[in-house]
Amino acid sequence: DAGVTQSPTHLIKTRGQQVTLRCSPISGHKSVSWYQQVLGQGPQFIFQYYEKEERGRGNFPDRFSARQFPNYSSELNVNALLLGDSALYLCASSLKGTPENIQYFGAGTRLSVL
């Protein structure tokens, strides 16, 4: 069975540009969460979606937005990129959006902002 898939694998952008990252959850999973991981740190929560509705939002500026589609895939958008947005962006899926459900992670998208 396919795990969580993310695209693209790597991305290079310049300051001020916009970027869209994509995530396909494990088949049957209805919840998707996004995390930012800076080198040497643990993942930091950005958004959670369940059944196409936003269920949670972390402490990130409004430049970050996301959505979930009817097939449960998801996109993360970041506008007006800053150098500090350079990080590994991780997507995780779970059956539902509750803590009892284990979150399974994709390999991530490595974003570099120059």
Residue with tokens 């937005």, as numbered in its chain = 65
Where do we find the tokens 């694998």?
A: 9
Cα separation of 98 and 67, whole Å? 19
67-106: contacts with other proteins (CB under 8 A) = 90, 92, 99-100, 102-106
108 contributes a contact to other proteins by CB under 8 A: yes
CA dist 92 and 30 (Å) reads: 11
Phi, psi at residue 48, to the nearest 5°? -130, 135
Site string for other proteins, 12-41 (x = CB under 8 A): ---------------------x-x----xx
Q: Give how far the C-alpha of residue 32 lies from the chain's centroid of Cα atoms, to the nearest Å.
A: 8
Q: Give least dist CB 33 to other proteins, A.
A: 7
Task: Assess 66 for contact with other proteins (CB under 8 A).
Answer: no
Residues binding other proteins (CB under 8 A): 4, 33, 35, 40-45, 48, 55-56, 58, 90, 92, 99-100, 102-108
